[in-house]
Amino acid sequence: MLKKENLRKNFLRVKQIADQNLGRAEKSEVLSEDLQTVEKRVELVKTVCQSTSKKIAGCLQGQGTDYEKRLRKLPENTLGLGMIESGTLLGTDSVMGTMFQTCGECQTTLAKELLQFEVDVEQNVLAPLQEILDVEIPAITKCKKQLSKLTLDMDSCKGRWNQAVKQTQVHGANMAAVSAKADQLKEEYEESCNKMYQARDNLATEMFNFVAKEAEHSSKLIAILEAQRAYHKKALEALEQAIPKLNEALECNPLKPVYGVPLEEHLRVTGRDIALVLEVCVIFLIEGGLDEEGLFRIAGMASKVKKLRNAFDANVIDMEEYAQDLHTVAGALKQYLRELPEPLLTTQLYPDIIQAAKLPQDQRLQQLWSAVRKLPEQNYNNFRYLIKFLAKLAEKSDENKMTPSNIAIVIGPNLLWSEGDNGPNMVTSGTISNMIELFITHCDWFFPEDTAFTFYQTFLPLPSPSPKRRFSVPRRSLSSSAFSFE
């Protein structure tokens, strides 16, 4: 019986819809303007929630409950693991190996923070938005459908009741039967109205409740920004921890290039007192023979000088190769002095040196003595070391043809130039050479202390040394062989 009644109601609803579409029946608007406004608001919120939820999900690089699987798919994690592997291959006792290892660890940390951000967004943003779309909106939609059905029932009853009332006004009709039917339809209409009102109230209640929670729904936007803030804060912390480590690794790298590096920086990184190129070349030239004619004046082969320069920068030096090529070693030393960012005698000393050249002979030496004492300690020690060596070279001038004057001409312009110049200045090179000649000639007066030409520190080996023999510089005096080969 109930099934038959439901079929009847469905038939009458379909008929009512058809009559309304054909204009044969009126369609009741049961929602007030306020409720219609609220209904539009609900539909608008539904649309933006659907759109936003879809776009947020599209921003995530993975979804699912398997944490490790999602982590493996993140590009940052793949990059980090690759860098760590590269660091292992290079060796963490090397600068590049350490850099790759540190960068890789930072990237994997960033990947974990990114995944945590995505999990937070899923839990605190996507899930609540989905609940709006899956629970709250469907509840309102259900009420709307129920109201639509009951409105059709009401309109159908109203139409049939009006038709019965008209029939009671037709003469000759069975008035008793027609009136009874009209009364029955009136009761049915009033009952359908009551059901419609109740459904409308239910719909209004659901929509009002939904709109009242708009602030709560809007808080999901704060949640996504809070998740982003937390992610970027932790990512920044990871980067701020990694970057100083990388800079420290570079700063403390004893395998830094030596050419073109400030003297103070080179000595600090290597822990030396005398610049590596200066000490190695000087000892090599002393042991190799100071009687080589034209030392420092005759240029070494450019390709070999460049090769030796790069070998010093790479910290892989085979000095045995240059045993019969002292001019290349001398050329490498001159180039080192020439490529210092600031001259060995410093630009601050430039005016004092130039002024000394203008003084009488008896005052000139005193002016130079006072000026050289103004040098920073590192510059003073290395300049004294060089001048002591050049004085030794000049002692052999009968054999090597390099008098103090000749030496000063080729070395002097590489020791001092004015601020703003990028290297030796040909305009004042003669004046500077004359002053350097005085330092060489009166070496023991300027620097009365003894200078032991001994090696201070060995080369630091590369992580994976070549089987080729490399030059080492142990601490030993000239009384024994100054060079050893591994």
Q: Which of 222, 251, 280 is the last residue of a domain?
A: 251
Q: Above 80 in pLDDT, residue 109?
A: yes
Amino acid present at 172:
G
Higher pLDDT residue, 464 or 235? 235
Rounded distance between C-alpha atoms, residue 293 and residue 372, angstroms: 30
Does residue 270 sit in the same domain as residue 235? no
Answer whether residue 4 is part of any domain.
Answer: no
Q: Above 50 in pLDDT, residue 246?
A: yes
**pLDDT band per the 50, 70, 90 thresholds, residue 25:** low
Rounded distance between C-alpha atoms, residue 125 and residue 122, angstroms: 6
Does residue 334 sit in the same domain as residue 452? yes
**pLDDT band per the 50, 70, 90 thresholds, residue 467:** very low
The DSSP element (H or E) to which 484 belongs, if any, is strand 484-485
Rounded distance between C-alpha atoms, residue 54 and residue 57, angstroms: 5
Rounded distance between C-alpha atoms, residue 173 and residue 170, angstroms: 6
* Mean pLDDT along residues 79-88: 94
Range of the domain at 327: 263-485
The DSSP element (H or E) to which 238 belongs, if any, is helix 214-251
Does residue 113 sit in the same domain as residue 151? yes
Query: The domain spanning residue 399 has which CATH number?
Result: 1.10.555.10
* Mean pLDDT along residues 233-257: 86
Does residue 228 sit in the same domain as residue 328? no
pLDDT of residue 55: 93
Does residue 274 sit in the same domain as residue 129? no
Q: Above 80 in pLDDT, residue 213?
A: yes
Does residue 269 sit in the same domain as residue 392? yes
Q: Which long-range contacts (CB under 8 A, 24 or more apart) does 425-432 make?
A: 428/354, 431/353, 431/354, 431/357, 432/353, 432/354
pLDDT of residue 228: 94
Does residue 297 sit in the same domain as residue 225? no
Rounded distance between C-alpha atoms, residue 482 and residue 453, angstroms: 9
Query: The domain spanning residue 60 has which CATH number?
Result: 1.20.1270.60
Q: What is the pLDDT of residues 390-410, one digit of tens each?
A: 999 999 999 999 999 999 999
Rounded distance between C-alpha atoms, residue 302 and residue 200, angstroms: 97
Higher pLDDT residue, 424 or 27? 27
pLDDT of residue 460: 40
Q: Could you give the number of structural domains in the chain? A: 2
Does residue 151 sit in the same domain as residue 187? yes
* Mean pLDDT along residues 25-41: 83
pLDDT of residue 424: 56
Q: What is the pLDDT of residues 133-170, one digit of tens each?
A: 999 999 999 998 998 888 888 888 888 887 877 777 76
Q: Which of 251, 277, 297 is the last residue of a domain?
A: 251
Percent of the chain predicted with pLDDT > 70: 85
pLDDT of residue 13: 67
Dihedrals phi, psi of 30, to nearest 5 degrees: -90, -15
The DSSP element (H or E) to which 471 belongs, if any, is strand 471-472
Does residue 162 sit in the same domain as residue 308? no
Does residue 225 sit in the same domain as residue 359? no
Does residue 271 sit in the same domain as residue 246? no
Answer whether residue 13 is part of any domain.
Answer: no
Determine the angle formed by the axes of helices 361-372 and 429-441, rounding to 10 degrees: 90
Determine the angle formed by the axes of helices 175-212 and 33-59, rounding to 10 degrees: 50
Rounded distance between C-alpha atoms, residue 124 and residue 116, angstroms: 12
* Mean pLDDT along residues 433-462: 78
Answer whether residue 169 is part of any domain.
Answer: yes
Whole-structure pTM over 0.85, yes or no? Answer: no
Q: Which of 219, 251, 283 is the last residue of a domain?
A: 251
pLDDT of residue 481: 33
Does residue 328 sit in the same domain as residue 430? yes
